[in-house]
Amino acid sequence: MGRLEGQRALVTGASSGVGAATVRLLAREGADVALIARGRLGLEAVAARAREEGARAFTSPADVADRDALKQAVERCVRKLGGLDVVVVAAGAGAFGRFDELPAKDFDRCVAVTFGGAVDTIRATLPHLERTGGRLVVIGSAVDAVALSLLSPYVAAKSALAGFLDSLRAELRASGSPVGVSVIRPGPIDTPFWRHLTHPAGLRPPSLPPLSAYTPESVARAAVACAIEPRRSVTVGGATLALRLASAVARPLTERALALAARLGRSLAGPDPHPDALWEPSGDGSVDGGLGGRPSVVTAIRLGRSRR
C-alpha cells in the first residue's frame, strides 16, 4: 500500500511539467487524483498515466486565471473525488524579456496565472481541506529571494506568492486550523516551461545549460513528501540552496553575475515555436523539456525516508 492510500488529491497545472510528474507520484502512493489545466489533451494523457498506477483520475479543464471557471472546476473535482485531502498548486506562466519591452497585457497575464491563479485555487479548496485536516502544497520558486532578470512578471508573482503564504500560514495557526501549508522552492527545472515562454519580439530564451536544471521528478518528490508529512519549505537542489545563500550574503556580486548571464541569454534568444503559449493551452502531457535535467541528490537526502 502507498503512503497516500485512500487520499484524494487535486493538482493544478497538471497537463505538463512538475504538475504532471506530481500527479503520477501521487497516484503511485495510492492517492486518487483530480487534474486541472487548460489543455484537454494534456490532461487526458497525464490522467491515463495515473490510472496505469491504479488510481482513479479525473480531469476538469479550466484556466486558473478565470476565477469563475476555476471555482466550477474545483467543485466538479470535489464531487468526483468525494472530498479533498491534498491540494498541489503547480500552475504557472512566464514571459521572457526586459520589463520595458514586455507588453502590459503579457505581464498581467503572467501574474494572473502564477499568483492570482494560485490564490484563487487556495480560496476555492481551503474550506474542503479544513474539513479533512488536509495538506496544501504550493510550488513556489527560488526566485523569491534571487535577483533574476528577464523574467520580471514571474519573479513578481512568485515573490508575492511567498508573502501571501506566510500571511496565510500565520492566520491558519491563529485560528487553530488543522491544514498544513508547504511551499516547494525549486531553481531551474527541466520542464516545457522554458519552451512556452512568450517574448515580445517572438523570441524565446536559449536552452539552459543541462547541469543547471533539475528533473521535474525531483520537485514532484518534494511535493509528495509534503503531502505525506507537511514541511514549511523545501528548496530543491544543492545549486539552488547555494544561489539563495549567495544572494543573501553577497547580493551585489550575485546581481552582477546574474545580469551578465541575462545579457548573454538575451543575445542568444532564438525563434519561438510556441509564441501564443501564454494565452493558449500548451500542455501536451510532457514532463521534461529536453534540457537533460539531473536528479537532486541533496533534496533526496534532506527528505530522508520520504524519498521514493
Q: Which positions ≥6 away from 169 have C-beta within 8 Å?
A: 181, 232
Tens of pLDDT along 99-157? 888 889 999 999 999 999 999 999 999 999 999 999 999 999 988 777 677 889 999 99
Q: What would the mean pLDDT of 58-81 be, rounded to a whole number?
A: 98
Whole-number pLDDT of residue 126: 98
172, 181 Cβ separation under 8 angstroms: yes
Q: 8-303 has which CATH code?
A: 3.40.50.720
Whole-number pLDDT of residue 308: 39
In the three-class reduction of DSSP (H, G, I as helix; E, B as strand; rest coil), residue 233 is classed as: strand
Query: And the C-alpha cell for 73?
Result: 472546476
Tens of pLDDT along 179-225? 999 999 998 888 888 777 777 665 556 555 555 688 999 999 999 99
**Percent share of the chain, pLDDT over 70:** 82
Domain residue limits, the chain: 8-303
230, 170 Cβ separation under 8 angstroms: no
**Cα 21 to Cα 63, 221, 232, 289, distances in angstroms:** 20, 9, 21, 12
Query: And the C-alpha cell for 257?
Result: 553575475
For the chain, give the number of residues. Answer: 308
What spatial distance separates the first Cα and last Cα of the chain, rounded to whole Å? 13
> Which of 125, 138, 124, 113 is closest to 22 using CA atoms?
138
Catalytic residue set: 154
